[in-house]
Structure 1
Amino acid sequence: MLEKIMAAIVTWIIGVISTMGYGGVVLLMAIESACIPLPSEIIMPFAGFLVSRGELTLWGIALAGAIGCVLGSIPAYYLGMYGGRPLVEKYGKYVLISKKDLDMADRWFASYGEIIIFIARLLPAVRTFIAFPAGVARMNITRFIAYTFAGSLIWCWVLGYIGMKTGEHWEDLKVYFHESHYVIAALGVVFLAWYVRRHFKNEQS
C-alpha cells in the first residue's frame, strides 16, 4: 500500500513538471522546502531529463528550483520564529519531521552558525527542515534568503545536470530500461521509502 502511494506521488511530480515546465519546478521545490516530503532528488533530475530533450534549459531549471526553495523556506522560517520549537514539534510529525531531526538541525545551527543554512541546502533530508532553527534564532531574513538561494542553486543545478546527462545517454540505457519515467519513478519510490522509514525510526529512538 505504501509503495503504491509513493509511486502515485512520483507520477504526479513527473506530470506537474511535464505540464507546467519551469512553473512546475518552482511549485514542487517550494512544496519540498516547506517541509513536505517531495524529493528534490526526483524533481530536479526529471527536469534535467527534459533539458536533454530541449524542452527546458539547465540554468533555467536551476534558477526555478532555487526560487522555489526560497519561497517554500520563508513560511517555515516564520513558523520557527513565531511558533517556536514547541509548535514545530507538535505539528512536524504530520510532514514527517521528527524530534531527532530538529535536534540535529539545532545542533548544527548552534555549532556552525548561519553558514549552515547554505551548507544544509547541499545535503539530502536535512535541507528540508533547516529553516526552522534559523527562524527560532531570528536569523536576519536577508541573509537567510541569500544563503538559501545560493545553496539551493548549486543543489538544483547538480541534480538537473545528472538528469540531463542521463537523458543524453538514454539511447545507451534503453538496453536496460524501457521508459525513462519508469527509472525516475523507481528511484523516487526508493527514496521516499527510505525517508518514511527514517522518520519512523527516529520517532522510535
Structure 2
Amino acid sequence: MQGLEQYLIDIIYHFKYIGLFILLTCGLVGVPVPDEFLMTFSGFQTSLGRMDFWITLMVATLGSFLGMNLSYWIGRRLGIPFLHKVAPYLHLNEKKIARAEHWFQCYGDRLIVIGYFFPGFRHFTAYFSGMSKLHFGRYTVLAGIGAFLWALTFITLGRILGVHWQTIAHILHHYLARSGIVLAIIVFLIYLYSVKTKQGKSYELNLFKKYFP
C-alpha cells in the first residue's frame, strides 16, 4: 500500500464518518484522493462493525454530493470568461469553446450520473455543468442520484469483499481510469457525429429551398 493511501486510510480509521465526509468532498472538488479506494475501505469497516453501513452510505453520499456542487459553482463563477482567458494557453479559440458549450448543453447532463464511476471524468462533468450554466435544479437531482449509486456500489463492494477489498479496489481503479479515457473519446466522437449530422441536414434543407422555393 502506498504512503498516501495508508495516510488517508488512517484518517478514516481514526475519524470515521467525519474523515470520510471531508476526504470525499475534497476528492470531488479535484483534490487527488482515491475516492473508490476509500469508500471500499469504509465498506470493509462496516463488515467489521467499526462503522455502520447506513450511516457510512449517507455520509459518503452527502460528501460526494457536496463536492460535486462545489465544483459546479466554481465552474459557474469562473465561467466561460475564465476559459477565454486561458484559451490561448490551451490552444483553444472562440469557435471551439462555443461548440464545446453547445455540446454539453445538448448531451452533457446525461453523463453526470455515469460520470461518477470514471476517475477524472466526474470532475469534467461537474465543472463544465457550471461553466455551461446547466439548470441547477436538474444538476442537483442528477448529481444526487449519481452520488448515491456510486457510494452504494463501492461501500457494498467493500462490505462483501471483506479482507480482499484492497486488491479488488486497486484493480477496479486501474480499469475505471482507462475506461474514463475511452468514455471521453466516445463522447467526443458522438459530438462530432452530431455536428456532421446537423451540417448534413442544413445542407439538404438549403438545397431543397434552392430548387423548391
TM-score range, shorter chain: 0.5 to 0.7
Work out the number of aligned pairs and report it.
167
Residue 161 (structure 1) aligns with? 156
1:34 & 1:107 partners in 2: Cα distance?
24
User: For residues 108 and 122 of structure 1, do their structure 2 counterparts lie closer, same or farther at Cα, with a shift above 3 Å needed?
Assistant: farther
1:166 & 1:107 partners in 2: Cα distance?
43
Give the Å deviation of 1:154. 0.7
Instruction: Report 1:120-139 matches (<5 A).
Output: 120-139=115-134
Instruction: Report 1:1-205 matches (<5 A).
Output: 7-85=2-80, 87=82, 109-167=104-162, 170=163, 183=167, 187=170, 191=174
Give the Å deviation of 1:85. 4.6
Coordinate RMSD, CA, aligned: 3.4
Tell me which amino acid in the other structure corresponds to 2:118: L
SS in 1 for 2:77: helix
Give the Å deviation of 1:106. 6.0
* 2:108–2:129 Cα contact (<8 Å) kept: no
Give the Å deviation of 1:28. 1.1
User: For residues 136 and 187 of structure 1, do their structure 2 counterparts lie closer, same or farther at Cα, with a shift above 3 Å needed?
Assistant: same
SS in 1 for 2:118: coil
Residue 203 (structure 1) aligns with? none
SS in 1 for 2:2: helix
* 2:79–2:132 Cα contact (<8 Å) kept: no
User: For residues 11 and 89 of structure 1, do their structure 2 counterparts lie closer, same or farther at Cα, with a shift above 3 Å needed?
Assistant: farther
SS in 2 for 1:130: helix
1:134 & 1:54 partners in 2: Cα distance?
38
* 1:109–1:116 Cα contact (<8 Å) kept: no
2:170 & 2:9 partners in 1: Cα distance?
12
User: For residues 11 and 148 of structure 1, do their structure 2 counterparts lie closer, same or farther at Cα, with a shift above 3 Å needed?
Assistant: same
1:69 & 1:89 partners in 2: Cα distance?
29
* 2:116–2:150 Cα contact (<8 Å) kept: yes
Residue 176 (structure 1) aligns with? none
TM-score by length of 2: 0.65
* 2:71–2:123 Cα contact (<8 Å) kept: no
Deviations 1:12-32 (A, max 9, x none): 210111011111111111011
2:83 & 2:149 partners in 1: Cα distance?
28
Tell me which amino acid in the other structure corresponds to 1:56: M
